[in-house]
């Protein structure tokens, strides 16, 4: 066992958990999950069956990650944020065959208390502000806030707001990496 699990954590059979991962107090890892290397699963987290978390994913306290969610490497899930997996849930109607997939791409961050409505993709290095309610796809590097979430800008890989000039060029103030905005899409310069 190359990972750490607090004695109060419950880990069901059939899970694959990567080396260096830490699972903290009162968390429940349900059957057939795949959790990568060097992840941190905070206190009171639920990872539902067949969820996939890449390497170095940080899941803060009180997060629910439901079946149908895939998080690529280096994703950050803020405290008490939540995913959904059924678009129109009803207690008296079983819709387990209607789970919608949600993909969170590499390096994306989702802020505290945000809600991600199922069936959409969060682009790589996107930044979802605290308390946002995401009801549509989020482009790579986009910063979205509010309810419903609206795009208010662009973010660098290191989490700094990008300011594009008239030619559609911006630089990360920390790394000096160059970004290009063209046709409402941000890419890094090669």
Please write the tens of the pLDDT for every residue from 138-162. Answer: 999 999 999 999 999 999 999 999 9
Q: Is the separation of the CB atoms in 178 and 169 below 8 Å?
A: yes
pTM of the model: 0.95
pLDDT < 70 positions in the chain: 190
> How many whole angstroms from its chain centre is CA 134?
12
What confidence score (pLDDT) does residue 97 get?
Answer: 82
What confidence score (pLDDT) does residue 98 get?
Answer: 84
| Residue 64, SS3 per DSSP | strand
What confidence score (pLDDT) does residue 189 get?
Answer: 82
What confidence score (pLDDT) does residue 29 get?
Answer: 98
Q: In terms of CATH, what superfamily is 4-155?
A: Hexapeptide repeat proteins (2.160.10.10)
What confidence score (pLDDT) does residue 53 get?
Answer: 98
> What would the DSSP string read from start to end of 28-52?
EE-TT-EE-TT-EE-TT-EE-TT-E
**Where along the chain do its domains lie?**
4-155, 162-190
What confidence score (pLDDT) does residue 124 get?
Answer: 98
What confidence score (pLDDT) does residue 59 get?
Answer: 98
Rounded distance between C-alpha atoms, residue 11 and residue 6, angstroms: 10
């Amino acid at each position: 066992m190359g990972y750490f699990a607090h004695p109060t954590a419950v880990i069901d059979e059939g899970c694959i958990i990567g080396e260096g991962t830490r699972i903290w107090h009162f968390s429940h890892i349900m059957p057939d999950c795949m959790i990568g290397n060097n992840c941190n699963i905070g206190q009171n987290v639920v990872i539902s069956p067949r969820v996939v978390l890449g390497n170095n994913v940080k899941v803060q306290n009180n997060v629910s990650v439901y079946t149908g969610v895939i998080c690529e490497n280096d994703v950050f899930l803020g405290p008490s944020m939540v995913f959904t997996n059924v678009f129109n849930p009803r207690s008296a109607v079983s819709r387990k065959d209607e789970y919608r997939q949600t993909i969170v791409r590499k390096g994306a961050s989702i802020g505290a208390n945000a809600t991600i409505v199922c069936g959409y993709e969060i682009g790589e290095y996107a930044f979802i502000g605290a308390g946002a309610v995401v009801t549509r796809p989020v482009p790579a590097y986009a910063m979205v806030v509010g309810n419903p979430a609206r795009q208010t800008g662009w973010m660098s890989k290191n989490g700094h707001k990008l300011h594009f000039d008239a030619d559609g060029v911006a630089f990360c103030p920390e790394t000096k990496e160059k970004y290009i905005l063209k046709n409402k899409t941000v890419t890094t310069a090669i």
